[in-house]
Chain A
């Protein structure tokens, strides 16, 4: 059965351009502002939304996303409220895929079955759970697939050709290639190596391959976008939010507007990719 994610990639393929995948932290700086950010994303050019679920111990994230998660938790964000945010978004948007991204423990404590039921009901289309490698597929991946939710896996430079089939085995929706070994927010590596890596993964799968980690500017989005089926931007968006917040928590500018401006720029980069690729 084609999911909302499958349909989105099919539509983009027809359009002949890569997807812009935008990550933001649910509940940062607070629920209402964050919801406003989310609602503005499709209009600014985001094709797929990655909704970050805050966790106290984000072991794969750099300082920017760590801080965003803590801000959200301080304001009472939780997995329950993150699902609520998705459900409210769905009330007015039937087409933009939502991928929840986070760590396993909040889901485990919520209860896997109950979580999947509520996720489906909230219009969640996919899951990225950083600390669930294929070795742990029985935990959530298999039940999620049964519930009709895509389980999106990260592939990294350490995932060699021998391991790739295992990583891809139960992956659906798309493959998220993490362009470097490191935490979120690190510098973008050599783009030619990224293209080679995407080619390598595509030899093993027909799924779309999107690339993330380190993309910050429209120009980078354009270059990466010409080599992949999509570009993920996370830390740059999280930083755009952070830059509107004073140390005392008050706002110097509208976070939703700051994110919209940022995403519009990235979107122009991604839309230029088709032309770049055709050149």
Chain B
């Protein structure tokens, strides 16, 4: 959009008002204002409390299984080198996976949930609510709620309840109440609306555990901070393995939490190319995609200003993605700012390309990736053949794909 002055550091945001440039902010109803101010206070206190850090660290290690591995994806690397040769090139960058799929509950979402449940506990809240798309955040929320003995209500779009059945069942087993939301297309946006409605109706006891780096300030900041463990570890791990920083890092962007978690610690490493992958759905020509930064424009939704898919009257569009976790017409505000500053590039990947990458990774690596993560892998496979063999790439494998086997089976016409 507008011209942005390049800052000295890309890591200083947000400002006191919760802004990343023109993005972010606190666009909420008055009822919620005192609550998010209270949350901000609690988070500021927690950040400066060594015991909070220590408790989170212990849980991350012994409960979630951190640090997650940085894995050299040799099979996939061999594949991209073969692709290069077929194109008459001798390239093929070395691909590493940051294995967030190996975390407890099967995705990066647990990092954020552990941090926030400790905050909820500090604040004396006794009831947890969450929204979920793919169900991974719902499962992670249900998990930490079970662990800390708090009741949990998860709002989930009715369409997503259908396409992510295994996760719905997991949440129920974990003792959470799953409330299907049928307004709109019944996807993540609608689940978030309903969670916000619950929150304004239950302000005294309820903690809203947002699952991505979006929403009103301070959520984008605190979710990013809890997810930054991904990038901090990856940076150390690659330095240890390769003795240098990677050339390119790639992550899929739904609301943007796994991506900002990987990206943030690398933002001031000028030579590291950073790429976020949006859901291109069935292509950017029509409305059937969720590429808010490639095809949307700035607007205000769910408490923050950010790039949104919307019509000319400012009505929000529903979008589409084969992957429930990317099926959101907005994006966290820090990504919008990183886009406009030019520090991070955002590129769409189509449903079909993600499906291909899903199968490719399964066959070449013996790893079933989440459809969300498959978007990032698809782009890596696209560009790696054109990169020299001594180039290094890290792809965030944000989650495991077990939840997606029904969807993929159906799309491939397989009997399940």
Contacts and interface: CB of A to CB of B under 8 A. Distances in A.
Interface of A: 55-60, 62, 66, 73, 78-80, 103-110, 130-133, 135-136, 153-160, 163, 167, 178, 181-183, 186
Interface residues of B, number: 36
Interface in B178-214: 183-184, 189, 193, 196-197, 200-203
The 8 A-B residue pairs with the shortest CB-CB distance, nearest first, are: A109-B314, A106-B314, A182-B201, A78-B313, A56-B315, A156-B31, A105-B314, A131-B27
Given A55-B315, A110-B314, A167 B30 contact: yes
B314 A108 contact: yes
- Greatest chain A CB density within 10 A among B301, B305, B308, B312 is at B301
A61 B305 CA distance: 20
Most buried by B among A56, A80, A135, A160: A56
Contacts of A157: 31
B33 A133 contact: yes
B31 A158 contact: yes
Interface of B: 17, 25-35, 183-184, 189, 193, 196-197, 200-203, 299-303, 305, 308, 310, 312-317
A156 B199 CA distance: 14
A106 B31 CA distance: 21
Contacts, number: 113
Nearest to B34: A158
B29 A131 contact: yes
| Residue of B31, B193, B305, B316 with most chain A CB atoms under a 10 A cut-off | B31
Contact of A153 (B30, B183, B200): B30
27 contacts: A55-B314, A56-B317, A57-B193, A57-B301, A57-B302, A57-B316, A59-B193, A59-B196, A60-B197, A104-B300, A106-B313, A109-B299, A110-B314, A131-B300, A131-B303, A132-B27, A133-B26, A133-B33, A157-B31, A158-B32, A158-B203, A159-B34, A163-B34, A181-B31, A182-B200, A183-B200, A183-B201
A109 B310 contact: yes
B93 to A, nearest CB: 41
Nearest to A167: B30
B304 to A, nearest CB: 10
A132 B32 CA distance: 11
Given A57-B301, A105-B301, A108-B299, A160 B34 contact: yes
Contacts of B203: 158, 181
Contacts of A183: 197, 200-201
Contacts of A59: 29, 193, 196-197, 302
Given A66-B183, A163-B34, A60 B316 contact: no
A159 to B, nearest CB: 6
B30 A105 contact: no
Contacts of B197: 59-60, 62, 183
- Highest count of chain B CB atoms <10 Å: which of A104, A108, A135: A135
B27 A178 contact: no
A57 B189 contact: yes
Nearest to A78: B313
Contact of A105 (B28, B32, B312, B316): B316
Given A57-B301, A106-B313, A135-B17, 19 more contacts: A55-B315, A57-B189, A57-B193, A58-B193, A60-B31, A60-B200, A103-B300, A105-B300, A105-B314, A106-B315, A131-B303, A158-B30, A158-B35, A158-B203, A159-B34, A167-B30, A181-B201, A182-B200, A182-B201
B313 A156 contact: no
A133 B313 contact: no
Contacts of B313: 78-80, 106, 109-110
Contacts of A163: 33-34
Nearest to B312: A109
Nearest to B189: A57
Contacts of B303: 131
A167 B37 CA distance: 14
A163 B301 CA distance: 24
B411 to A, nearest CB: 28
B29 A154 contact: yes
A236 B213 CA distance: 37
Nearest to A109: B314
Which of A105, A156, A167, A178 gathers the greatest number of chain B CB atoms within 10 Å? Answer: A105
B28 A131 contact: yes
Nearest to A54: B315
Contacts of B315: 55-56, 73, 78, 106
Nearest to B195: A59
Interface core residue of A106, A107, A154 (most chain B CB under 10 Å): A106
A107 B31 contact: no
Nearest to A106: B314
B31 A105 contact: no
A79 B311 CA distance: 12
A130 B308 CA distance: 19
A182 B206 CA distance: 13
A155 B30 contact: yes
A183 B17 CA distance: 26
Nearest to B201: A182
Contacts of B202: 181
Contacts of B316: 56-57, 105
A131 B201 CA distance: 16
A158 B30 CA distance: 8
A136 B302 CA distance: 14
A136 B25 contact: yes
B205 to A, nearest CB: 11
Contacts of B200: 60, 181-183
A66 B197 CA distance: 12
Given A57-B193, A78-B313, A105 B299 contact: yes
Contact of B30 (A73, A78, A106, A159): A159
Nearest to A176: B30
B301 A130 contact: no
A69 B329 CA distance: 19
Nearest to B305: A108
Contacts of A178: 30-31
Nearest to B297: A109
A135 B203 CA distance: 19
B30 A186 contact: no
B201 A186 contact: yes
A157 B34 CA distance: 10
A276 to B, nearest CB: 29
